Structure 1
Amino acid sequence: MDISVVVPLYNEVESLPELTSWISKVMFDNGFTYEIILVDDGSNDGSWDMILKLKESNSFIRGIKFRRNYGKSAALNVGFEAANGNVVITMDADLQDSPDEIPALYRRITEDKYDLVSGWKAKRYDPITKTIPTKVFNSVTRSMSGIKNLHDFNCGLKAYRKTVVKNIEVYGEMHRYIPVIAKWAGFTKIGEQIVEHRPRKYGKTKFGMSRFVNGFLDLLSIFFVGKFGKRPMHFFGTMGTLSFLTGLVISIWLISDKLYYVAHSLKVPREITAQPLFYIALVAIIVGSQLFLTGFIAELVSRNSHERNHYQVEERI
């Protein structure tokens, strides 16, 4: 199979007929073998009933329905697991992504041999309250990830080589940083393509301002897990050792200072426990010990979480 189109959706009943018809037309005109995987992320507006209806007239449509709303990352992860195409295209269901971009994205993967190609909506139809924070996040992500050639990490329209989606894990709010996750997984040939951003035709956006806070926290998580996920002791152990040694050195200095006064029969200015440094040293030793133990525990649980991407799928078609 040439292409799997994965479409996560939440309350997009109005746009689904036009979207699936448009995708099918593009595939037919270009002679692609394909499947459309619609992942209903707990919609309550009749989206699933619409998917069932559309499948009756289009056998290329597949549907996955969550029992409740888990979020876009969960929908993408389950869609990636179900995809069979050699190239996987993701797009949003709100018709702001154009299916006409699919052939060009497909060629970038198959002919130019990219692992991942991310869309860049150079001209956007979003309010300034969304575009400015997005630019800031993209700038920070470029700096932290080292992926300098991407302008829009969060664009929903992306193309992947099949091996990429089968070897990455998307959860939380991390769909914003899939190129970063792919890079950490060893897929370094990442490209970008300018794509059309169309005005929203139906409904309203499902993302509020909280996405910026959550996105920043997930960005930190990605870099921590990517760098220390397989060796957490290197992080916690180093921090713990430095903290413990700092406290130990201060303690030795305080004890040595008192012994000096005692050895020379001098009056001690203040008892050790009366000095602020004593409590700083005590806290540093305790914190260092806790960080060191955290590193051991993290090593034990590393890569053993079987429930992180377990979602209740109510129905598949």
Structure 2
Amino acid sequence: MEHKLDISVVVPLYNEAESLPELTAWIDRVARGEGLSYEIILVDDGSDDGSWEVIERLKSSCPAIRAIGFARNYGKSAALYCGFAAARGEVVFTMDADLQDSPDEIPAMRRMILDEGYDLVSGWKRKRHDPVGKRWPSKFFNWTARAVSGIRLHDFNCGLKAYRRKVVKAIEVYGEMHRYIPILARQAGFRRIGEKAVEHRARKYGESKFGLERMVKGYLDLITVSFLSRFGRSPMYFFGSLGTLMFLFGGVTTVWIIAAKLYKQYHDLPLRPVADQPLFYLAILAVILGVQLFLAGFLGELIDRNSSDRNKYLIDRTIDCK
């Protein structure tokens, strides 16, 4: 039988060997100070700087550490997905491994979950210690996410979050979807989403893994999660409706063009051959696209009803996470 704990702290990491001893000691100090039973789940996302060896050494002095090591780098969403699956805490926290998130925020965020009834509490880095080239794209990204989702959070991408346990067991994180966990949670029926201003610290070790490609992937995934939140279980509603409208437009236009030609021909009026009219070809194109969109919706329904689990990651080592 699974033994439940007060809190689980899931820490995805990639090449953060220098920061791990300080981070785990800090989490241990905070949890013990609050009298909480806890576990630290370190998910090594294919590090090549000796992070796993550091984790093995830390385990000998901190039994609360559990760890998952990927065979290669899959990304933060994959790490969170596996960490969530392994978590046993009543309240589950996530934080980055670079020491920019403060474990001192854990007690207050836990109280917001247990005492104030929130399902999810997202950190808000009100004062960020990041370069301008990272802050301004993040501001624009968060504005777009708020506008699309309707969730009034200042910082969707803050790594420090707290979740009621049933939330992390109900959501599916993949791609770059870790940015949109509040949207995924609301889609799963968890609407009590709160926010807390948290301390953000300057990076102490290593370099940021942030890059332009993450922004591009983030926006593509925003489109994906917005679509899935509306039509994920019924793609026919989107593709079928759009396809039907295009088919009707093309069909009615084609009939009108042919009928107009026959009318003019019957009354000996000047007329243009149907094949000389660009509108005729546009109408035929609309009919073809309409049929294709309708079939896309139909195939989407078939795939959705027969799909298997998409999250398959090659884990080649674990510590107490079986």
**What range is the shorter-chain TM-score in?**
over 0.9
- Equivalences for residues 230-241 of structure 1 within 5 A: 230-241=233-244
Deviation for aligned residue 1:261: 1.7
- Is 2:64 aligned against 1:60? yes
- Is 2:14 aligned against 1:10? yes
Distance 1:304 1:213 in 2: 30
Classify the secondary structure of the residue corresponding to 2:12. strand
Distance 1:229 1:124 in 2: 35
- Is 2:262 aligned against 1:259? yes
- Is 2:39 aligned against 1:35? yes
Normalised TM-score (structure 1): 0.98
**Residue correspondences, number:** 315
- Is 2:137 aligned against 1:137? no
Normalised TM-score (structure 2): 0.96
Please report the RMSD computed on the Cα atoms of aligned residues, expressed in angstroms.
0.9
Partner of residue 187, structure 1: 190
Deviation for aligned residue 1:304: 3.5
Deviation for aligned residue 1:118: 0.3
- Equivalences for residues 107-118 of structure 1 within 5 A: 107-118=111-122
Distance 2:49 2:75 in 1: 16
Deviation for aligned residue 1:267: 4.2
Classify the secondary structure of the residue corresponding to 2:170. coil
Classify the secondary structure of the residue corresponding to 1:43. coil
- Is 2:25 aligned against 1:21? yes
- Is 2:245 aligned against 1:245? no
- Is 2:100 aligned against 1:96? yes
Distance 2:136 2:20 in 1: 30
Distance 1:198 1:266 in 2: 80
Distance 2:140 2:270 in 1: 60
- Is 2:316 aligned against 1:314? yes
CA offsets 1:24-62 (integer angstroms, 9 cap, x no match): 011111100000000000000000111111111111000
CA offsets 1:157-214 (integer angstroms, 9 cap, x no match): 0000000000001100011111111111110000000100000000001120111111
Classify the secondary structure of the residue corresponding to 2:130. coil
Deviation for aligned residue 1:262: 2.0
Classify the secondary structure of the residue corresponding to 1:39. strand
- Is 2:115 aligned against 1:124? no
Q: Which residues of structure 2 form unaligned runs of 5+?
A: none
Distance 1:80 1:304 in 2: 25
- Equivalences for residues 251-290 of structure 1 within 5 A: 251-268=254-271, 270-290=272-292
Classify the secondary structure of the residue corresponding to 1:28. helix
Partner of residue 49, structure 1: 53
Amino acid at match of 2:277: Q
Deviation for aligned residue 1:303: 5.0
Q: Which residues of structure 1 form unaligned runs of 5+?
A: none
